[in-house]
Amino acid sequence: MKIHEYQAKALLASFGLPVPRGTAATTPSEARAAAEALGTNRYVVKAQIHAGGRGKAGGVKVVASLDAVEASAAALLGRSLVTAQTGPEGTVVRRLLVEEGLDIAREFYCGIVIDRAREAPVVMASTEGGVEIEKVAAEKPEAILRELVDPSLGLRPYQARRIAFALGLKEQQRAVEKLLLGLYRAFLQLDASLVEINPLILTADGRLILLDAKLTLDDNALDRHPELPALRDVGEESPLEVEASKYNLNYIKLDGRVGCMVNGAGLAMATMDLIKLAGSSPANFLDVGGGANVERITNAFRILTSDKNVEAVLINIFGGIVRCDRVADGVIEAMKLVQVKVPIVVRLEGTNAPEARQKLEASGLHFTVASTLAEAAARVVAALPAGRN
């Protein structure tokens, strides 16, 4: 679950981490009042969307008067901000963060993420702060420092000090140590999958401040944090993804022609790859998980076919925990409830797969039944109307 910068900073501040003074606002007048409360002579007005690259897109304004704060807020609110992470359609700005302006002496990058290959958190840092870290990783990978954290021990003080020395912050080594240990504590206790500070700044008076913060929470752990789901902003998400989440379905919007109903993320990736190999591309994928019953499949069909780009549907279910014949029953009943006007190819494999195929073929409904994934991909692509791939 992604959250806004102002929310991330509030959470990190609760762990004693230094963030700029600031307040969120949803109207120009609120932005002016927030700036006035800061009692300073320089302000930063920042668009709050779930995407990076806001500065380059004109979503961050540094101004020196209350009138300029109000004017900047009026210009940003309601505007569609297009960044490298939003896609060409952009994201509408509905919230702002109004902060105090700070004198920046140096900028750094630091972040914590899970290194899945090594099954441990890794703390990353770089002197290349304030720029896109993906670009640094691609062009100057040696500029990114990495400290792998033993999950049983946590981040050790000597590791934090080693990062401080490598960043050239010898005089601030104790402050760096305190900051990184606090950041790791927040990462662990919030069940985060990503904490990213870009930039972490050293001010002209020698303070370390989290000038920008990105925090992604593991939604599988939200039951341990009843206060965190309230931070979700569904306005930043695809309407179909929000609708799918109501039924515990995982939906991802893509830009192709084939709707994909699967169970399991790995099977979803394989399905999409084979559709590409067969000559088309997926319009989306919807993971029904282990409970592929009539209700879930009915809602899955409804959500899949709500996408106007879907011109055919591939159902690819592996019956491990769930029996294929029960999935077939669900598909048949769902088809009776939902008016599906596009070709449907079904491939069921696993427990009771032969019985499932017999039920589908005997249903009298317009399915194409495939026995292998490659065959299913080829058939669903062949069923597409002539046109773009």
Q: Where are the alpha helices (DSSP H) in the chain?
A: 5-13, 28-38, 66-76, 133-139, 157-166, 173-189, 239-245, 265-277, 294-304, 324-337, 353-362, 373-382
Is the CB of residue 298 less than 8 Å from the CB of residue 291?
A: no
132 catalytic per annotation: no
Using CA atoms in the order 195, 196, 202, 206, what is the torsion angle rounded to 10 degrees? 0
196 catalytic per annotation: yes
Strands 60-63 and 120-126: unpaired
Is the CB of residue 314 less than 8 Å from the CB of residue 286?
A: no
d(CA 45, CA 339): 48
- Residue position matching structure tokens 């101004």: 63
Q: Which two tokens stand for residue 364?
A: 């009298």
Amino acid at 134: E
Q: Which two tokens stand for residue 388?
A: 């773009």
φ, ψ for residue 225 (rounded to 5)? -135, 75
Q: Is 114 helix (H, G, I), strand (E, B) or coil?
A: strand
Is the CB of residue 110 less than 8 Å from the CB of residue 121?
A: no
Strands 144-148 and 60-63: unpaired
Listed in sequence order, the residues at least 6 apart from 274 whose beta carbon sits closer than 8 Å to its beta carbon are: 373, 374, 376, 377
Q: Which helix (H) or strand (E) holds 210?
A: strand 208-210
Long-range contacts of 237-245 (CB under 8 A, 24+ apart): 240/284, 240/303, 240/306, 240/307, 243/303, 243/306, 244/286, 244/299, 244/300, 244/303
Is the CB of residue 271 less than 8 Å from the CB of residue 377?
A: yes
| Active-site option among 196, 236, 311, 349 | 196
- Residue position matching structure tokens 């379905």: 249
| Active-site option among 6, 30, 107, 109 | 109
Give catalytic residues, as residue numbers: 109, 196
